[in-house]
Amino acid sequence: MSFSTKKMYLHRTAAAPTVEPALPRRYDADFRPSEEYKESLPDMMEAVDAISGANVPIQQVGVSGFRLPLRFAAEGGEPVMLEAAVTGSVSLEANLKGINMSRIMRTFYEYKDRVFTLDTLAEILEGYRLKVGSLQARVRVNFSYPMLQKSLRSGMEGYQFYKAAFEASIRADGTVRRFVEFDFVYSSACPCSAELSEHARDTRGVYAIPHSQRSRARVKVEVAEGATVTVEDLQRHLLEGLKTETQVMVKREDEQAFAEMNGAYIKFVEDAARLAFEQLDADPRIKDFEVACAHLESLHSHDAVSVICKGVPGGFEADFMDFGSLVC
């Protein structure tokens, strides 16, 4: 049978069924397919008549959790190699069975030796959109970014790791949007609890400790065209606004300093959202943004949350459901 034959049929008759010999169960490690053989391999993605279900467009189809090491640009130093997790998707028109998902991964490997930035991601996005033949495409790269943090008073240093993501999308008209997502973990001392503790001390001579808790702010910013916003930029913005970032290396003098800092910068979850807003809104490189804050309460059995956005028409809408994993 010719290699160009892509369908095989087993013919049997009711009167005299034939018994086919069993195929050998072995793997031929020496087999090397010729170009003719590879051309003969069936491609189910081209089989329009094999579409299951409604023959309608699909908004997003692709891969999630594809991992590879990428070299990320680092401010003021050599690029850092980090494990990255990729989610890539494209739109699929009606009358098409599916996409060749390996093309998404192969496109990334073409850029694996480049220093990875938002602009690199936009290039990758356009590349695999053209290879897959789609109208729209979207890519997200999650990674954990290390930054050296100095202790408050002892002078020790340790690495803080920040959950971050680069994301880009391209529309059918070729419009590209670029985003950076960033998590910042901080301590929040409750203003109400602080005042009640002081009241107990002043009026009744009772020693009381205000409650505070580990808290998290997750920001997602859309970067203006032609501009660059780094992970370091977002860390600086949130550190300047929220002040009380959790610490890595701590001696007694650092712990005391942190207690003093929490007393100086008490905040409700509403305060935290507005403080982050103030910093991001002042950066002209940031076209739009959304901030979600979650205070993982030590007083209550539930969390306190707030979400705020810049308010750009047609932009982010301050929906906490966008940040569902923030308190999980």
Write out the DSSP string of 123-144.
Answer: HHHHHHHHHHT-S-EEEEEEEE
What pLDDT does residue 122 have? 86
d(CA 109, CA 104): 9
What pLDDT does residue 324 have? 61
Nearest to 184 by CA among 54, 91, 283, 275: 275
Nearest to 146 by CA among 262, 209, 231, 236: 231
Sign of the four-CA dihedral 277, 280, 284, 287:
negative
Mean pLDDT across 304-312? 95
Cβ contact 298:213 at 8 Å: yes
d(CA 176, CA 122): 7
On the question of pLDDT at 3 being above 70, the answer is: no
- Residue 105 pLDDT grade (very low, low, confident, very high; cuts 50, 70, 90): confident
8-state DSSP, 48: G
- Find residue 184's DSSP bridge partners: 217
What pLDDT does residue 271 have? 98
What pLDDT does residue 136 have? 85
SS3 content of the chain, % helix, strand, coil (to 5): 30, 30, 40
Average pLDDT, whole number, for the chain?
87
Higher pLDDT pick, 135 / 270: 270
d(CA 219, CA 316): 11
Beta strands in the chain (DSSP E): 58-72, 80-92, 115-116, 137-150, 157-170, 176-189, 212-223, 286-295, 304-309
User: pLDDT (tens digit, 9 = 90+) per residue, 116-169?
Assistant: 889 888 888 877 777 766 778 888 999 999 999 999 999 999 999 999 999 999
On the question of pLDDT at 291 being above 90, the answer is: yes
Q: Which amino acid is at 308?
A: I
d(CA 267, CA 261): 12
d(CA 261, CA 266): 8
Nearest to 316 by CA among 167, 202, 198: 167
User: pLDDT (tens digit, 9 = 90+) per residue, 193-202?
Assistant: 999 999 999 9
Mean pLDDT across 199-216? 96
What pLDDT does residue 5 have? 43
Q: Which of 96-110, 241-255, 313-327 has the highest mean pLDDT?
A: 241-255
* Cα radius of gyration rounded to whole Å, the chain: 28
Cβ contact 222:289 at 8 Å: yes
Lowest mean pLDDT of 65-74, 200-209, 236-245, name the range. Answer: 65-74
- Residue 247 pLDDT grade (very low, low, confident, very high; cuts 50, 70, 90): very high
> Would you tell me the crossing angle of helices 118-132 and 102-110 to the nearest 10 degrees?
140
Token pair for 248: 């890595």
Count Cα neighbours of 181 within 13 Å in the Cβ-side half-sphere: 18
